[in-house]
Every structure is written in C-alpha cells, then in structure tokens.
Structure 1
Amino acid sequence: MKTTIVLIAVCGLLEAGQYDYGVFENFQLTQELFRSEVAGLNLIKDILERLKEIQLKLEGQIVSKNAFQTLRTYKKTLRELTRSQPIENDFITSAKGLLMILDTYNVSKDCLTKKEFVYSDPHRGRVSLKTHATFEPHDLMTLADEATQIGWFSHAIDLTKSAYANLNVKSLQKDQKQVMEDFKSRLVRTHNNILRSKKRLVGEGYKVLPYLVTDDLKRKPTQPKFVKKLDPSKREHKFEANEQLDINEDIFRRICRGQIVGQAVKNQTKYQKCHWLHQNNPYLRLNPFKIEILLNDPFRMIFHEILNEEEMNWLIQYSTPNLSQARKVSKTNLEVNRVGLPEEQKRKIVHKTVQCWIDDVIYNEEANLKKNKDGIFEVQPYLGDQYAHVIFNQTLHKLSKKIQMATNMIITQRWSSTKYQVTNYGLGGLCETHVDPFGIWEGAEVHEEMKEIHSTGDMFATFMAWLGNVPGGGYTAFNHEGYEQAVVPVRGSAAFWFNLRSDMKREPRSSHGGCPVLAGSKWILNKWIMANDQFHNFKCTQEKNVTYPPYKDFY
C-alpha cells in the first residue's frame, strides 16, 4: 500500500518523460526510483526482508568467537547496504510532504484518481495539471491515516470521502470493510470533538473543517452558532503561545494559494505599477530597465528581463554539478535555546541544502579578521593591496555591474555584497519564512561564521532572480500581516526589496519564504547587498521606523 504512495509523492505531479533527476537532493536514489518504479521498490523491500531473515538466523546460532566476528562484519555490511535504501520513515515523510502540498494549494481530492492535479494558484485561480499517475482508494486511505497522525483531520475527511467514492465496497472482505468503517467513525468523532471544544480551524497539532460532519462525512445540516463566525480567509489573532507556530505556518500556506492578500498590496493596485527605470543615469536614459513596483512602503519591486540567456544558462550549468547537499547546523542556531542569552541577541539562520556559492571576482589576499576586546571582528592589516583581484568569470562580473547600475547601489567593492548563491528546489521544495538581515545593530551576538558582517554591515537589500519558470507553485510569499503577497517566479526577472530601515534596524515587513514547488523545479539566484558601502546614496538616520523611499527616476 505505502509503496505506491512514495512514487506518487515524488513523481505523480508531472507528465511522464519530463523528469530531471538532477534537481533532487539524492540524485542516484531518485533516478532509480523513477526508472524502476514499483518493481524496483518491491525488489528492495524483498532484499531487505531476506537480509533481516539471515540476520535473525545468525543471531539464533551458537555464538563462537568466529561466528561473533562474522556477525559483526555482517551487521556492518547490512548498514552500508541499507543506508541509502528507502525505509518505512521515507514512506511516512513522502506522505507528509504530499499532504503539505495538498494543503498549501487546496488540491481537489476528487481529481487525484483522474490523472490530474486541480489546485489554487494566487494569480491564475484554479489550475489543472495533467499527471501520469493516479491514486487508488487504498492510497487515499493511507494518506488519510497519515493525515490523522499529524492532526490534519480536515484532509483526512476529504481523502476518506474520495476513497469511498472510488471504491467498490461490496468487493471488500468483511474484516477490510470493518477496518475502514472503524477508521471513519473515529475520524468523525475526533474531528467534531476538536471543532466543538476549540471553536477554531487551526491550532497546535490540529486542522479541522469549518463545520461539523455526519457519519457519512457530509456537512451536518444543523450547525452550532460559532460555526458561522469561522472564516478560513482571515488570520487567527487570539491564540495561545504554543499554537503560534502551527497558525503561522497555516497562514503562510494560505498566502501561497492566494487566499490571503495584504490590504497594503490591494491598495497599491490603484497606482501605476510598470515603468522604465533610468536612475537619472545618462546611459540608462537611453537603455532603461523594465520594472514593476509591487509595493511603495516598504519598497518591493520586480526587475523584468534583467538576466539574459547567456547568464542564466551559465549559472545553471556551472551550479548543477556543484550543488551542495550538506545539512549544515549553524553555531548561531545552536545558541537559540541557550539559557541566559537575551532574546534580542538570539538569531536563527535559514540554511538551504541544495545550493552553490559563486564568486565573480577572487581577491588575491584573503581577509584576516580577529575579534577585539569589545567583541568586534576587525580586519587585520593586509600584506599588499586588499582590493587586488582576478575576475573569475566575465559573464558574472558583467552581471554584477548591471545590478549595480540598476539598483544604484555599490555591489562590486570587496565588502559591498555577498557571493552569488544559486539554489535549486525540487518537488515539494520550500523555504521557511524569515527576514534576511542578521540584526547586528539590534544587539545580535555574532559568531565566527558571521565574522565578516562587522566589515560589510547588515543585509541592506536583496536581489533574487529566477533562472527558470516553475510549472506549478514555487512563489515567493511575503507574510507580514497587512503586507501579504505571493510573487510569481518568472525566468530572467528578479525581485528586489529593502531589508533595513534608515536607522539600520531590520524591516519586519520584509519577512518572506518560498512556497512549495508543486511541479517541475525552481532555480533562483540570490545576491545580498550589504549596508556599509551604501551610505553615500542611502543616508542613515537616528529617527526610528523610517523606510527608504521607492525609486522615482523612471519614465
């Protein structure tokens, strides 16, 4: 039963023949799964079962000195053989990932058995994607069971209802039918009890429908009065502290499907959005950039067609064999729960696993930074010219100059911006919500891994470009209340926004995350522009809560 689930979870969203094995974190395993499908997984399971039988037989024998050594060697070999093979937890994780996609995009459960995915898109409404795989009733029941394990009873009910609609109940054996009826009965009872007691749709460890259901999973004709006040399109404001994580994640997914749009974003549609940006530069007056203003305050915009084909192709070709799969645990993140560390000093760094960092220039002499008595990392004297460098790639270096001209910011100096970061997200890939800057002017404790930040300043602005279109999902969603917005990825274009206010404090309304990829894969290019070199064109002030104005030099 669970064999089919993992295949649907990772490959059922696209037409056959459109797979790109290289976009997944475990290239080899994914390629094997796609090639062999169910037969391959069954073979692996059979091998594992046979190996376990042999192990039990060996353990049951009289243990001599030689037999003991043989058993140790066997166990070591078994671990090596099975380390990269699918295990029960892989099926569970795949099911949870699929449930997350179903929830994020409000996927129609009734269409899962019809070789199509019908889902909600923030800009296109209800969209249908053709698939090559279908869900059988037992797959739907397996998913429903996993949904109950994580408390998503609303999805468990929809999946169970769809399973019954596509199942010939008369063909079931008596004990099979009884198992399904018992599951359905427990599900209805649990769901209705939670809704009656909590009187809300989402909380710590639960998600329910906005109405009570009958024994046959339909909406009850008579509902309590509080049900009328439940509105899935609005944010929850009254909740316990332990419920905040579940509610915030649910809000983010609702932004990803376009169910929540901030009032400031709605108001922005009253103004002209598209312009030709020239930054009062004589060259750009003849060759301006295409821009689309998403929001004036805080400033959020799109550079359309800013990357050309040569740049995008080179970035993907160079990055593909160099994508890191390491799961780094930052020392900064380990400090989050440290007893005694003040809240204003705690930070969490969001790490992306499938990424590649690229320099456009390489400096001849590496910077030497040491912490002084005040805890500040200072640059030690250089032996030669600290700015002497070689150009690593002319295409990338020209791109840096282009971004510098477009943003009117300094990014080509040594401390003015980060390296380029190319990140790839496969099916279901997402990025949790966060703000980019570290908050060094708010008292954040700086560890060795972030030592250059005292020389660069904090992340002043973000330039995030898309290296390809995404067939489904993969939006960038801003989640601060009142400013919610889902931005569609468009090949060759780039989102741009300010991360700091004029007093160098973090702009909380820049909080954003990456929505799950529903179909295909997502390639993005990031470059963070650092604060210390921007003071000439962007003055800092001591006045609080002052945002930098939007660009105004355009046609």
Structure 2
Amino acid sequence: MEVLFLLLLCVLSASADQFTALVELEQALRVEGELAKHLEAYINLEEARLAQLRQLATEMDEHSRTVLSDPVKYLGNPVNAFLVVKRFTVDWPDAKQRLIHSRNTDDLDALQASMTSSFPSEDDYVGSIEALIRLQDTYALETHRIAEGKIPGVKVSPKMSAFDCFEMGRVMYNEGDQYHTILWMQEALDQLAQEESKSVEEESVLDYLSYALYVQGNLRHARNITQRLLDLVPEHTRAQNNLNHYNQLIAKEEQEEGVRKKGDDGALKDAIMNDRFLNEEDQYRASPEFQTYEALCRGEDVVPVKDPHKLTCQYRFWHPMFYINPLREETASLEPWIAVYHQLMNDHEIERIKEMATPRLARATVHNSATGQLEHAKYRISKSGWLRDEEDPLIARISERCSALTNLSLTTVEELQVVNYGIGGQYEPHFDFSRRSEPTAFEKWRGNRILTVIYYMTDVEAGGATVFLDAGVKVYPEKGSAAVWHNLLPSGEGDMRTRHAACPVLTGSKWVANKWFHERDQEFRRPCELEK
C-alpha cells in the first residue's frame, strides 16, 4: 500500500497545475479509478490473508492444546517429534512468509521474532530426520510403515504426507546418503499417488530420486526416472543433460558386454540395487560388531548368554541400609558380572533429580583419544547434566546408597550424571573405562573407572535398552531399577567384555542417572589381584 501511495504522489506532483484543465482532472480521475481497483484488489488479498491467518491461529491453538495435554506421551512418538520439529522449522517460516509479511505487521513480526528465538533450528530439523533414519535402520522398520505411523509401542500416530517423505529424502541427499534418499523418495511417490491435494511436486521428487539411483548403480532405472521427469518438464536442462549421459553410459556398457541388462524397461522397484553400506564412511556400520549391536537392540538373541541356568534372583542384605528394605538382585550375567537391582529409586527421588537436572542439560560429549578433548559426536545423542552431593541431601543420599550397594568408597566417585535421550537418543558401542591409548581420559588422582551404576528413571515403551555385545545381555529400562557392573578386571586391566551401548529410544523418553566409581581409595574394598 505504501508503494501505491508513493506512486500516486509521484503522478500528482508531476502535474502540479492539473486543476487548470479538465482533461488533466479527467486523467487524475482515471488514475484514481485505477488506484481504487488496486486498493480493492489489495483489500481482497489482505482479507484473504487475514482469514487464513485466523485459521492458522485457531489450528495452532488447537495443536498446542492437544500436545500439551500429554506432551511426554505425544513427543515420545518419534514421528510426532519429527513433525513438531518440522512444524517449527519448515511450516512456520513458510506460513510467516505467506501470511504475516505486511506493512501492518511490523510489530507482530518483531514480537514473533523474539518469541520464536527458542524454536528448533535448522540443525535440529536435520537432527530429527537423522534420528528417524537411525530408528529405521536399528529396528529394521519399513519405510512405508513409518510413513503410515505404524511405530512399535505407539497406538495412534499421524501419517506422513508426500512432502514429509520428500523432506526426509532431501535431507538425506544433502547428507550424501543415497540409500535412504531412494527409500524416502520412493515413499514420497507412493504417498503422492494417494493425495488429492498434492503436497509436493512430482518433478521435485523424481529429480532427487533419479540421481540417487544413478549413484547407487541403477543406471537404467535412473534413465527411466529421468525420462519420466522430462515428460513432466520437457525444458528441464539438467535432466536433459543427465539423460544424454545415462544413454551414453548404457550404450557403452551394452557394446562392451554385448547384452542388454535385465530391468531396462521394468517397473521402478524391480531389481533396484540399494546398498546401505556403499558409502565408505558407513563401513563401521557394516561391521559384525555394529550388526550385533543393532540385532541386540531389536531383541534378537544373536549372542547366547553364558550359563543361563546359573542366573538367579535373590534378596541381598549385606549393608544395614538394606536390612529393612532388602535389595532385589537379578543376576543378568556371570562373566562379566552384570546385575540389575529393582525398585532401588522411588518416584519422589526421580522427579526431584529430573527437576534439578533439567536446567543444566547440555549436549553430551565424548572423549577424543587423539586430541584429549571433549567433543560432540553423532554416535552419542543425548543431553546430560551433573549434580553434586552438596547441592541437595537427596543427591548425597543417592551417593550413599550407591556406596552401600557396591561396597566402594565415595572418595573418588564422579558427580551424579543425569541423562535424557531424545528422538532416537543413543550411545553406540563403547567402554566406560579408559584404555591405554587414552591416558588423559581421567585425572590421575581418580584412576580409571572401576564400576558403573546406571539408574533407570523412566519406563520406555519401545527401544532404549542397554546391551552388552560380548555377553549378549539386554537390560530394558524399568523405572526405579539400576544396572551395575565392574569395568575393570581384578588385575586393574579393562574388562573388554563390558563393551556396551545404549540403544536408540524408539518410543518414549528415557532418563537415566549414572554413577561412576574410580580405582583410587578402593584398594582395601576391591584388592588388586594378579589374575585377570
């Protein structure tokens, strides 16, 4: 509107004496009439924009009320969590661009800018997609079932649109992950075929899919999809060049081999090669160890537990603290020794610990053995905070309970680490102790980590188990229970059999509290022995 008024001002000032001739007034009236038409069109557009904005405000209010009625349950569904992040990082900026940019919305724009400063960032958006991909791989979930909202542990889940699936594939494409690009772009096409109101342009999906197929070695499929793209957009220059390139490669291949390969004119999904581990960076994920880790997370018994007939459950009374309320001990493994203690932490303690730790949560780090520095890593996805005994009698009581449970001194123990695992939260296979290649991992006055206590502070609907790769043990989160094991052999050497991992959380929210005991001042409580 400001531009229109400036335009009118320019017209009138160009003929300052127009009132002296009727013809000039007539011209002014014609300009006024044209201006009125522009103003009417502008008003219609503004009214339509405001109607859409009112509808958006109503929908946002309803969505917020629905989610906040039970946020833990709602956001515990990984698809819901992804869609919420997408809502703030993709849908909201789009709505703002279309509906809120107006001369009369400067104040609102400034207000929303300050209010949305805490919204998830683009990095969070990418991270939520990577989390869904991690869950898909670890738990062998079919792409279509995820898109349909059929997630283990979830009774009701929203379906993903073709655009949602396209976004999954697009982000994976930008990450150089052609394997998942193919899976999700194919699903986008399937969802698009079912949509009356198309949420994404088919040519956009075909553009990404064709190149991903080519990179994964599906030359003829890539050519067919590129031709399909050109049927929709004949002037697509890059597609034209790609099609010529694919035809040249196919002609050369046929000339060299003297045969026409199967699948030339086949359906899109026939005989597609799509190796998850084709990318060199993913070779660890193709290793037997990683495959064992994922299988254990799925609950598969790929590593038999040794001497299961010797595993027992019993009450323990070895400390006065447990005379009245004895320990409920479940032996999960004898070699290495791993035990689970049930009902070791009550609901009041759990809620208080979570309340104290929440403001301190920050992205968890890992120790880089090469640099000696703490850094973020994709193989550890969680947020953690630390609580000291001096801060609250409850924290001191938890420490005393750990000491009584393990018969170890608190002199060199670490502070209580509280961890929350979010969407697809995990910690891939690792040791809790430092190896010889990591001499600076812990302070010398503490020594190495001799024992681990993990308190589970929530039940998890699906996923989130602690798995031990060598022992084949799977410890599923149970609110109030704790898992305990020795990280070091009696000789002081690291026990390689304790390599373990925190499986991705498939459904729900996982909270744990870790207490690590160190070697120093344990000499008379757990004497060193020569035998390993």
Normalised to the residue count of structure 1, the TM-score between the two structures is 0.60
**Residue type matched to 2:486 in 1?**
F
What is the number of residues matched between the two proteins? 411
**Deviation by residue 1:317-368 (Cα, 9 ceiling, x = unmatched):** 2222x3233677x8x63x615xxxxxxxx687788873222222x4xxxxxx
User: Which of 358, 377, 388 does residue 387 from structure 2 map onto?
Assistant: 358
Q: Distance in 2 between matches of 1:35 and 1:150?
A: 21
Q: Distance in 1 between matches of 2:263 and 2:455?
A: 46
Query: 3-state SS of the aligned residue for 2:425?
Result: coil
In the alignment, structure 2 segments of 5+ residues that lack a partner are 1-62, 107-112, 220-261
**Deviation by residue 1:403-444 (Cα, 9 ceiling, x = unmatched):** 22222x2234x33x11111122222322243211234xx374
Q: Which residue of 2 aligns with 1:519?
A: 507
User: Which of 445, 456, 467 does residue 466 from structure 1 map onto?
Assistant: 456
Query: 3-state SS of the aligned residue for 1:98?
Result: helix
* Superposed displacement of residue 463, structure 1: 0.3
Q: Distance in 2 between matches of 1:327 and 1:400?
A: 22
Counterparts of residues 27-426 of structure 1 (less than 5 Å): 40-45=92-97, 89-114=123-148, 116-118=149-151, 127-150=152-175, 152-168=177-193, 176-177=201-202, 180-181=205-206, 183-192=208-217, 215-218=266-269, 220=271, 244-247=283-286, 250-251=290-291, 254-255=294-295, 257-258=297-298, 261-265=301-305, 267-279=306-318, 284=322, 287-320=325-358, 322-325=359-362, 333=368, 336=370, 354-360=383-389, 362=390, 392-407=391-406, 409-412=407-410, 414-415=411-412, 417-426=413-422
Q: Distance in 1 between matches of 2:82 and 2:165?
A: 23
Q: Distance in 2 between matches of 1:15 and 1:534?
A: 49
* Superposed displacement of residue 260, structure 1: 5.2
Q: Distance in 2 between matches of 1:263 and 1:250?
A: 13
**Deviation by residue 1:123-152 (Cα, 9 ceiling, x = unmatched):** xxxx35134532112322332343344455
**Residue type matched to 1:96 in 2?**
E
Q: Distance in 2 between matches of 1:135 and 1:313?
A: 34
* Superposed displacement of residue 154, structure 1: 4.7
Distance 1:90 1:489, change over 3 A: closer
Kindly indicate whether the alpha-carbon contact (under 8 Å) linking 2:186 and 2:209 is maintained by their aligned counterparts in 1.
no
Kindly indicate whether the alpha-carbon contact (under 8 Å) linking 2:178 and 2:216 is maintained by their aligned counterparts in 1.
yes
Counterparts of residues 13-32 of structure 1 (less than 5 Å): 17-20=69-72
Kindly indicate whether the alpha-carbon contact (under 8 Å) linking 1:473 and 1:517 is maintained by their aligned counterparts in 2.
yes
Kindly indicate whether the alpha-carbon contact (under 8 Å) linking 1:428 and 1:518 is maintained by their aligned counterparts in 2.
yes
Kindly indicate whether the alpha-carbon contact (under 8 Å) linking 1:255 and 1:477 is maintained by their aligned counterparts in 2.
no
**Deviation by residue 1:277-310 (Cα, 9 ceiling, x = unmatched):** 334x577576431122121111112111111223
**Deviation by residue 1:244-289 (Cα, 9 ceiling, x = unmatched):** 4343595376146426545342x3433333222334x577576431
Q: Distance in 1 between matches of 2:279 and 2:204?
A: 36
C-alpha RMSD of matched pairs (Å): 4.8
**Residue type matched to 2:138 in 1?**
T
Structure 1 or 2: more helix by fraction: 2
Q: Distance in 2 between matches of 1:86 and 1:405?
A: 43
Q: Which residue of 1 aligns with 2:236?
A: none
Distance 1:96 1:437, change over 3 A: same
Query: 3-state SS of the aligned residue for 1:167?
Result: helix
**Residue type matched to 2:327 in 1?**
F
Give the structure with higher Rg (CA): 2
Q: Which residue of 1 aligns with 2:429?
A: 433
Distance 1:455 1:81, change over 3 A: same
Q: Which residue of 2 aligns with 1:69?
A: none
Q: Distance in 1 between matches of 2:437 and 2:421?
A: 33
* Superposed displacement of residue 191, structure 1: 3.3
In the alignment, structure 1 segments of 5+ residues that lack a partner are 1-10, 55-78, 119-126, 195-211, 338-345, 363-391, 547-555
Q: Distance in 2 between matches of 1:30 and 1:459?
A: 37
Kindly indicate whether the alpha-carbon contact (under 8 Å) linking 1:262 and 1:483 is maintained by their aligned counterparts in 2.
no
* Superposed displacement of residue 472, structure 1: 3.0
**Deviation by residue 1:67-92 (Cα, 9 ceiling, x = unmatched):** xxxxxxxxxxxx99997666655543
Task: Name the structure, 1 or 2, with higher relative contact order (CA <8 Å, separation 6+).
Answer: 1
* Segment drifting more, 486-495 vs 503-512: 503-512
Q: Distance in 1 between matches of 2:474 and 2:331?
A: 14
* Segment drifting more, 92-101 vs 305-314: 92-101
Q: Which residue of 1 aligns with 2:31?
A: none
Query: 3-state SS of the aligned residue for 2:314?
Result: strand
Distance 1:91 1:242, change over 3 A: closer
**Deviation by residue 1:488-531 (Cα, 9 ceiling, x = unmatched):** 11100011111111221222222223222233321111111122
**Residue type matched to 2:385 in 1?**
C
**Residue type matched to 1:117 in 2?**
K
